[in-house]
Structure 1
Amino acid sequence: MTLLLDLGVPPHLVQAIARHADVDITLKIYAHTNLDARREGLKRLDDHLD
């Protein structure tokens, strides 16, 4: 499911595929990886700019 979010599939569709009752559950379970990837990307940018 994380891959679907990373590929830009809207969260409400990932929610339906995962059969979660609430999109917040989907995001809490799967979006953290996406946030970690963003943080890593920002860290790399910061390291590059130093």
Structure 2
Amino acid sequence: MVFTREDGSPLRLAYPNDKLNEIIKSNNLHPINIHGMRLSHASLLFEAGASIKEVQERLGHTDIKMTMNIYTHVTRTVKEQTATRFEKFMEL
């Protein structure tokens, strides 16, 4: 992601996180950084049923291993859904 000023010149690397931290502090929100938002986005995509390939493309990874090794945190909801699917399978 590249953030720029109105004139197109690049922002300081820390600027987006600095602004995000201002918003978090002024609204008493749980701390998170830009990368944390990206991780959350990927986890929610998986929870919503997106395939690993769809998430890889959405995140712009050229190597699917990157997506699988870093961004495939299994949420509690996904764990519950997996257990429910297995339970239903065993009832057949």
TM range, normalised to the smaller chain? 0.5 to 0.7
TM-score (norm 1): 0.59
Q: Percent of pairs identical after alignment?
A: 29
Backbone CA RMSD of aligned residues? 1.8
The whole-number CA distance in structure 2 between the counterparts of 1:10 and 1:18 is 12
Alignment correspondent of 2:56: 15
Alignment correspondent of 1:4: 45
Structure 1 residue 4: deviation in Å?
0.3
Structure 1 residue 25: deviation in Å?
0.6
Structure 1 stretches lacking a partner, 5+ long = 43-50
Letter in 1 for 2:56: Q
Alignment correspondent of 1:29: 70
Structure 2 stretches lacking a partner, 5+ long = 1-41, 84-92
Find the structure with the greater CA-based Rg: 2
- Over residues 1-50 of structure 1, what are the superposed CA-to-partner deviations in whole Å (9 max), with x where a residue is unaligned? 11101211001010000000111110111113x0x643xx68xxxxxxxx
TM-score (norm 2): 0.36
Which fold has the larger relative contact order, with Cα–Cα distance below 8 Å and residues 6 or more apart in sequence? 1
Letter in 2 for 1:16: E
Which runs of at least 4 in structure 1 moved beyond 4 Å after TM superposition? none
Alignment correspondent of 2:25: none
